[in-house]
Amino acid sequence: MADIVPFPRAPRPDRPQPSDPEPLWRHLLGDQLRRRRHDREETLTETAEKAGVSPQYLSEVERGRKEPSSEMIAAIAGALDTSLIELTSAVADELRSVPASAAVSVSVSRGSFALAA
């Protein structure tokens, strides 16, 4: 039998290669929630009780593991004595600070969307 020799893949010049992927909304949201909870010197349990969610769920939101609904975000924001607009504005400000090289491009091809990262 013959040996199989893999060919190295050369980067395609027609596809830009960002150095770092764009951060996900849920990760920045979680960071913002954790920061605000720590500023208030509250435990996960204390904040979760106020928001009406489990400490485990709040922990997963803070770590960016869960994609919470707008109702859940509003409940957690309320538990932290902040408004939904203040929270989303802070996350949007963080997204604006991401270098353009990390942006993900979206292209349309034949009526469908393609996401290139």
Domain borders along the chain are 25-96
Is residue 65 predicted with pLDDT exceeding 80?
yes
The end-to-end CA distance of the chain, in Å, is 39
- pLDDT for res 5: 73
| Overall fold of domain 25-96 | 434 Repressor (Amino-terminal Domain) (1.10.260)
- For the stretch 99-110, pLDDT in tens is 655 544 444 444
Is residue 39 predicted with pLDDT exceeding 70?
yes
Length of the chain (residues): 117
DSSP result, 67-109: ---HHHHHHHHHHTT--HHHHHHHHHHHHHTS-GGGPPEEEEE
CA triple 77-78-84, angle to 5 deg: 50
C-alpha–C-alpha distance, residues 75 and 82, integer Å: 10
